[in-house]
Structure 1
Amino acid sequence: MKEFMTKYGMLKGITSIEFYTDGIIKECKLSEYCEINTSYGILVPQYDEEEVRRKYKRSLSFYKNGNLQSISFQGGTNIITSVGKLSAELAVFHENGEIKRIFPLNGKITGYWTEQNEYELSEELEFHFEFGKFKKKIIGINFYESGAVKSLTLWPKDFINVLSHYGMIETRIGFSLYPNGAIKSCEPRRQTLIKTVIGELHAFDFDAIGLNADTNSLNFKENGTIKSLYTSLDKITVKDAFGSSHIYEPGLKPNNFNDKIMDVVPLRVEFYLSKVKINETEYNIESNTFCVDKFVRKLF
């Protein structure tokens, strides 16, 4: 099949195509120039795989209702968003047609093209948010259907300062926001002291991976107070009404790539109206006492 008609126009030079069970196009790969007409303007899907740095799995994908789900652009293409005009090599859309994700670059990391090469090609962008403003290179940005920013992912080597209810937080990987723009979560770059109802905890996750910033280890309620955090550095002792003590401390697990190295397994602490949850166990705050100590691992 060389051509196929969609609600956005005729697709030409189809080299591979997949359909849903009802015959609706699911995705395709192109080898010829063509234009599709969308609410974001005339867009040109990727059709040339000669550029060695570019990923080229598919040119277009669609939802079952026929709406565009994603497009890999032939070249950098400007998309108008709530935070201004952004250049994209890959864009993903919500099912209702609104922009969902934008990736300024869409390169493949190989022995010939490194992450550093891709980073150097990236352009700095300026952003203004409720928690502050910054100018950085980004990997991607995620939007709600309303158009508001949902999350923003930084390059691994970069960090920004996020102003929170608990002070300024040096943030790596990125952050997520509530629809009203309030900070929802971020990934601390270093040990960050957070005053909680059970004591002062050091928010930090040694094991944070950072594929994107949709979810992070330090989470806030919409009013800015703490919702949950990971701590890799604190020991929590809970003494119940019967005088029994329950001790929680970070654990260890073998590194995925080197079994001679042990990685820290942080504690997850969640805060509710009258309860706190440590890992999988809940405690009533009023009927228990809590002691937080900096954890020092014993070596045998």
Structure 2
Amino acid sequence: MRKITSFILCIWLLMVPFQSLAKTSEEDEPVTLKRAEIEQYELSYTGGTFVDNTKLNGLMDMIEKKVYKEPQNAYLDDNGQIVEGKPGETIDRNKFDLLFRKAFYNKKIAHMKVPKRPIYPRVDKAMMTEISKKELGSYTTSFRKSNVERSHNIELAAEAINNHVLFPGETFSFNEVVGERTEEKGYERAPVIVRGELTEDIGGGICQVSSTLFNAVDLKGVKIVERYAHSRRVPYVPPGRDATVSWWGPDFVFKNLYNEPILIRALVRDGNMIVKIMSSETAEYFTGDD
């Protein structure tokens, strides 16, 4: 009976790979591979002589999804104070490959700890300090706070673009940065303009955010790549100064032609939608290929 139980247990271990990769309640608990898991990656019909590289790469891909932590960029809070960024982490694939092969060929190694490496934030405190010194442009529009749903949508979209850093030569897409406007993300039904008619839809009001942004970034060092006007006049900007956006339709896209990164500050205060474009003191228009 004991032999049958042991046999079943061994089969179960082989048929359920990666079970030991699950993390415990401690976020930084080491992730390990057990001996039974390591031995599953031998190349077929070689009697344990070679590692199956295809399966091994698949294993690393799976582990990467489990251990990956996205780094957090430094940012400015609502009071303009810098909040320091935090590094993330991922699997160290080179070190993992070496340790795995060592464990694979050494039967005395009972388990293997998955090595990790840090991922440093793209924008650290030092960079945020530099690119928040000089205001390149700004624009403010107003809205009625009494329209609660529309005001809420404006706040959500403004929060999505706030503290976004665009490096030299990079392109900003409003739809990509803000993402799809859905009820799951908190967006509500509010007035929108569709084919010249005023109606209601999820995310109504965010065009005021994109239009305010357009007027703020309409600078010599910024190339407007894609912009569309509404099919009828909107009240929050002068005629011809709007930028309509829709998830399945128009987008607002621009490119940074400055020699330094630019920082988008988007704030909602007392019925005002405020966008400021910041950069370092040395920011100037780059006359190279745009």
State whether TM-score is above 0.5. no
Say which structure is richer in helix: 2
Larger RCO: 1 or 2 (CA < 8 Å, sep 6+):
2
Scaled by the length of structure 2, what TM-score is found? 0.23
Scaled by the length of structure 1, what TM-score is found? 0.23
